[in-house]
Amino acid sequence: MSDIQNHSDVHIVNGPNLNLVGVREPGVYGDKSFENFIPALREMLAKTAPALTLHYHQSNVEGELIDLLQTHGFSPNTGIVLNAGGYTHTSVALRDAVAAIQAPVVEVHISNIHARENFRHVSLLSPVCAAVVCGLGLSGYESAVNWLAASLAERFTSR
């Protein structure tokens, strides 16, 4: 394993209202909060992808999400899991930020956005993301992180 792989980072970036998961619409989003989920995800990664360091960010502010993407998205040893919440369907600025950065971005949605209201069926982010995961609940984040771990490892072994 290369030194670069030993220092790979995955940033989970959550947008508006995701701080309310576990409380907000538990029939849609479940009753487990990120406060309880992130330590379990870190523990899983320590076993399955020890070369990764997980960072968690949440903001209800569009500009802060863009700043996070720009701050972390130009490192060659970084991957990003992005759940932009409602901004998925409305933010051209967030889409442009994802398109501008070099890090692979996996778009994640806890619910199946295609089985919900029509306005949620269109993602402005999907065309500029490396992958999309939706409808798997919080385990979708685990799937996204595992995919990024493999993608980052492949990136370094092909050099």
* Residues identified as active-site: 29, 109
Q: Which helix (H) or strand (E) holds 99?
A: helix 92-100
Question: How is residue 125 written in tokens?
Answer: 């982010």
Q: Say if residues 105 and 80 touch (Cβ distance below 8 Å).
A: yes
Angle in degrees, CA 148, 149, 151, rounded to 5 = 60
Distance CA 6, CA 140 (A): 24
Q: Which helix (H) or strand (E) holds 56?
A: strand 52-58
Distance CA 56, CA 124 (A): 23
